[in-house]
């Protein structure tokens, strides 16, 4: 191994002569010289910090027209928001130059205006926050909004209370949810939309997000009451005790299960409707109990006896939701219905952690179905966190939305000629295709059909199944049943979840906070007996008419994968 050559360093304490300094700096370009100034990167336009410090001519007021910080009011919106939103006032601002009054605080959106993310219960609110990943301030600080005081209709009372945990049984949607009768509204949930930057918050849709119940510290922010006992769980210690049990739904050939095994989990159970996928899974994970069954029957009496695994991963069919899906398929109806079995599976097996992987087309092209999925998961008491991820950020040598990056050469160069399903599965092209540099190129997304660049760097042949396995970060010697065609192998590989992704994100999936996680001591307690006087938060059907709001659906902010490379 060649010795590492360290760059020369200028020691300002030494007696270096001017000629020595000129020699050392000769390879640098002075961008202050006019002829080189054009080489400098363009200066970014300054971004105004939203909810920044309050400077003249703005001042804060203690009271205005009977309103004060800590008060909740109902708004008649003149902008893109719906009428009937509730606003929690943090600051009352006045511009001394023109006497304009502005309220700064948090927007609370009615559950029925959440685009299906929550059950549309009467008097149910959700804290709605937009935050930037490049903003180091707490999200409750950076997520505040400014609204004109002229939009205020009337004061309202809101009870900020914890949401049910996954141990509670919510029952059906018409079951009454009870809160303190002294309040007109209840706020139990928060929707946080994380944007890539502060600038993108005003021009782009959310890059990732979370939908969950309010933490005790957040409830204390709004109520002023002291926070109860808490346990701080560092990210490095966020692991389940003992051996983690793993179940895999829509398992395919076992890509996600392979990643779980790499992470140290014990693969216990899996199901899939495809016979070849189940056979392949069992060959590579013989310790698991594999069910060849559809998801609906697995969630009923045909699945295993009711028990609670530590991790339950679902990878529902992605074809109906993919942007590449341009024509109707014979299995579209069944594949679409598979997504909506999530609630039944979570209700029966109650895993400690639930994970799903889907195509970016679900939130980007099908926001209604995406919102319904979030509703199903949060309705079972889970804190939901989602993100549009680029697989190359996890060490997968392909461009797909789901350091130096791994390249095609990194993935396939170490496969021996004697590898199974390799040299014996070569398909030569009658006419060579355009070659490319494998050391600087990542593969296109490995599809069930092989992908749009399904050929070797020299352009002479297609990738073999062993090479497709390597591109998908599966072992190149992964086992397949006898007499499978090359096309069937590539279809199974293309439908697989890259295991390196699962093994990389395993630690960070346990909580919804950025950084360390604070878990309330009372988070898993069963609810106390309801108060005698309580407000019924049953489904709201007619109150919209009284608000004077516009008819029709409201556009809810979802992940837009078209912004990933902006």
The domain that holds 343 is classified in CATH as 3.40.50.150
Domain around 450: 405-501
Of 553 and 292, the structure prediction assigns the larger pLDDT to: 292
Place of tokens 């000769």: 26
Residues in the chain: 566
Question: 211-239 burial, b for 16+ CB within 10 Å, e for fewer?
Answer: bbbbbbebbebbeeeeeeeeeebeeeebe
What's the burial of 460, exposed, middle or buried (CB within 10 Å: 0-12/13-18/19+)?
Answer: middle
Calculate the CA dihedral of residues 330, 333, 339, 343 and round it to 10 degrees.
Answer: -140
Residues 371 and 474 in one domain: no
Question: Does the structure show a pLDDT above 50 at 418?
Answer: yes
Cα distance between residue 147 and residue 85, in whole Å: 12
User: So what's the pLDDT on residue 7?
Assistant: 53
Round to whole Å and give the CA distance between 332 and 317: 9
| 190/215 Cα distance (integer angstroms) | 9
Helix axes 342-349, 367-379, angle to 10 degrees: 10
- Residue located via tokens 């309040």: 183
Asked whether residue 41 is domain-assigned, the answer is no
Domain-located, residue 209: yes
Q: Distance between CA 403 and CA 160 in Å, rounded?
A: 43
Indicate the number of domains in the chain. Answer: 3
Q: So what's the pLDDT on residue 515?
A: 32
Residue 214 near residue 189, CB atoms below 8 Å:
yes
Q: What is the pTM of this model?
A: 0.73
Calpha distance 251→248 (Å, rounded): 5
Express each pLDDT in 324-353 by its tens digit.
777 887 888 888 888 999 999 999 999 999
Question: Is 30 among the domain residues?
Answer: no
- Res. 174 pLDDT band, cuts 50 70 90: very low
List, in sequence order, every residue forming a beta bridge with 536; answer none if it has no partner.
178
Rg (CA), the chain: 28
Question: What pLDDT does residue 518 have?
Answer: 33
**Residue bearing the bigger pLDDT, 290 or 411:** 290
Least confident range of 54-68, 246-260, 478-492, 538-552: 538-552
Give the pLDDT of residue 399. 53
Quick one: pLDDT at residue 250?
94
Lowest mean pLDDT: which of 95-104, 490-499, 530-539? Answer: 530-539
Task: Report the candidate in 414, 427, 394, 381 with the shortest Cα–Cα distance to residue 503.
Answer: 394
CA angle 176, 179, 184 (to 5 degrees): 105
Residue 398 within a domain: no
Establish whether 278 is a catalytic residue: no
Question: Which tens digit of pLDDT belongs to each residue from 272-293?
Answer: 999 999 999 999 999 999 999 9
Q: Residues 382, 424: one domain?
A: no
Q: Are residues 448 and 299 in the same domain?
A: no
Whole-Å CA distances, 77 to 94, 152, 173, 210: 20, 9, 29, 25
Q: Is 548 left (phi over 0), alpha (psi -120 to 50) or beta?
A: left
The upper half-sphere exposure of residue 202, i.e. CA atoms within 13 Å in the direction of its Cβ, equals 7
Which residues are paired to 108 by β-bridges? 86, 127
At which of 510, 535, 550 does a domain end? Answer: 510
7-11-15-19 Cα dihedral, nearest 10 degrees: 40
Report the greatest alpha carbon distance in the chain. Answer: 89
| pLDDT score at 234 | 45
Q: Could you tell me which residue, 395 or 5, shows the higher pLDDT? A: 395
| Residue 33 CB partners (closer than 8 Å, separation 6+) | none
Cβ of 210: how many Cβ atoms within 10 Å?
A: 21
- Residue 24: band (very low, low, confident or very high) from pLDDT cuts 50, 70, 90: low
Statement to judge: residues 255 and 358 lie in one domain = yes
Contact by Cβ (8 Å): 238, 511: yes
Whether 443 and 418 map to the same domain: the answer is yes
Is residue 223 in a domain?
A: yes
Judge if 223 and 76 occupy the same domain: yes
Catalytic residue (choose from 251, 278, 316, 318)? 318
Domain match, 218 and 298 both = no
What CATH number corresponds to the domain at position 425?
Answer: 3.90.120
Of 448, 470, 501, the position where a domain reaches its end is 501
- The verdict on residue 301 lying in a domain is yes
> How much is the average pLDDT of 465-481?
91
Q: Tell me the C-alpha to C-alpha distance, in Å, between residue 281 and each of 355, 501, 533.
A: 19, 18, 55
For residue 275, the model assigns a pLDDT of 96
Region 262-277: mean pLDDT is: 93
Cα–Cα distance measured from residue 189 to residue 117, given in angstroms and rounded to the nearest whole number: 11
Same domain for 381 and 410, yes or no, is no
215-224 pLDDT per residue, tens: 999 999 999 8
User: Which residues, including other chains, have CB under 8 Å from residue 507's CB and lie 6 or more apart?
Assistant: 235, 236, 238, 239
Question: Is residue 22 in a domain?
Answer: no
Q: Are 159 and 259 found together in one domain?
A: no
Mean pLDDT of all residues belonging to the chain: 76
What confidence tier does 524 reach under pLDDT thresholds 50, 70, 90?
very low
What share of the chain has pLDDT > 70, as a percent? 68
Does residue 5 fall inside a structural domain?
no
Rounded to 10 degrees, the C-alpha dihedral 248/249/253/259 comes to -30
Same domain, 344 and 383: yes
Give 322's strand partners.
none
Residues 133-161 pLDDT 10s: 888 899 899 999 999 999 999 999 999 99
Q: Are residues 108 and 222 in the same domain?
A: yes
pLDDT of residue 392: 67
What local confidence, expressed as pLDDT, does residue 405 receive? 45
- Enumerate residues 6+ apart whose C-beta is below 8 A from 439: 407, 409
- 44 vs 193, more confident: 193
**476 in Cβ contact with 466 (< 8 Å):** yes
158 — phi, psi (to 5°)? -130, 135
Mean pLDDT of 549-562: 33
Contact 374, 363 (CB under 8 A): no
Gap between the Cα atoms of 437 and 382, Å rounded = 46
Q: Determine the Cα–Cα distance for residues 267 and 277; give it in Å rounded to an integer.
A: 16
Same domain membership, residue 243 and residue 227:
no
Residue with the bigger pLDDT between 563 and 549: it is 549
Decide if pLDDT at 541 tops 80: no
**Span 198-240, pLDDT tens digits:** 777 766 677 789 999 999 999 999 998 876 655 444 434 444 5
Among 93, 198, 201, smallest CA distance to 147 is for 93
């Amino acid at each position: 191994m060649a010795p590492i050559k360290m760059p020369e360093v200028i020691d300002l304490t030494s007696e270096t002569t001017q000629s020595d300094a000129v020699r050392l700096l000769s390879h640098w370009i002075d961008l202050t010289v006019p002829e080189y100034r054009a080489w400098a990167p363009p200066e970014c336009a300054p971004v105004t910090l939203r909810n920044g410090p309050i400077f003249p001519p703005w001042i804060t007021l203690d009271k205005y027209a009977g309103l004060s910080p800590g008060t909740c009011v109902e708004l008649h919106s003149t902008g893109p928001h719906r009428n009937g939103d509730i606003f929690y006032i943090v600051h009352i601002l006045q511009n001394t130059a023109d006497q304009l009054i502005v309220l700064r605080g948090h927007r609370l959106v009615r559950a029925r205006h959440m685009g299906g993310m929550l059950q549309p219960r009467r008097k149910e609110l959700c804290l709605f926050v937009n935050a930037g990943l490049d903003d180091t301030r707490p999200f409750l600080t950076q997520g505040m909004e400014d609204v004109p005081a002229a939009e205020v209709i009337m004061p309202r009372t809101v009870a900020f209370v914890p949401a049910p945990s996954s141990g509670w049984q919510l029952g059906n949607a018409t079951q009454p949810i009870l809160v303190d009768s002294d309040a007109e509204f209840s706020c139990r949930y928060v929707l946080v939309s994380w944007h890539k930057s502060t600038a993108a918050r005003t021009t782009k849709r959310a890059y990732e997000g979370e939908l969950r119940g309010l933490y005790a510290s957040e409830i204390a922010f709004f109520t002023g009451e002291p926070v109860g006992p808490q346990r701080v769980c560092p990210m490095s210690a966020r692991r389940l005790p003992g051996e983690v049990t793993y179940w895999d739904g829509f398992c395919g050939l076992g890509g996600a299960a392979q990643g779980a095994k790499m992470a140290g989990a014990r693969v216990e159970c899996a199901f899939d409707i495809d016979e070849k996928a189940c056979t392949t899974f069992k060959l590579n994970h013989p310790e698991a109990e594999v069910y060849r069954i559809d998801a609906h029957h697995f969630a009923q009496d045909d699945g295993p006896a009711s028990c609670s695994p530590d991790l339950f991963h679902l990878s529902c069919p992605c074809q109906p939701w993919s942007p590449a899906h341009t024509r109707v398929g014979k299995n579209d109806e069944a594949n679409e219905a598979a997504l909506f079995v999530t609630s039944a599976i979570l209700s029966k097996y109650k895993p400690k952690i639930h994970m799903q992987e889907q195509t970016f087309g679900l939130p980007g092209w099908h926001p209604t179905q995406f919102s319904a999925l979030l509703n199903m998961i949060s309705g079972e008491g889970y804190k939901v966190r989602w993100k549009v991820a680029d697989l190359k950020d996890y060490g997968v040598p392909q461009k797909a939305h789901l350091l130096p990056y791994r390249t095609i050469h990194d993935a396939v160069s170490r496969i021996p000629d004697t590898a199974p399903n390799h040299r014996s599965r070569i398909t030569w092209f009658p006419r060579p295709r355009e070659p490319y540099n494998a050391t600087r190129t990542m593969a296109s997304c490995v599809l069930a059909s092989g992908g749009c660049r399904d050929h070797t760097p020299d352009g002479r042949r297609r990738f073999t199944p062993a090479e497709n396995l390597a591109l998908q970060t599966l072992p190149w010697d992964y086992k397949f049943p006898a007499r499978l065609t090359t096309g069937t192998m590539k279809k199974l590989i293309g439908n697989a979840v890259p295991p390196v992704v699962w093994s990389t994100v395993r630690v960070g999936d346990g909580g919804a906070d950025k950084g360390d996680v604070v878990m309330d001591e009372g988070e898993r307690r069963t609810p106390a007996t309801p108060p005698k006087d309580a407000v019924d938060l049953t489904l709201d059907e007619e109150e919209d008419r009284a608000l004077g709001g516009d008819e029709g659906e409201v556009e809810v902010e979802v992940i837009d994968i078209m912004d990933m490379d902006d």
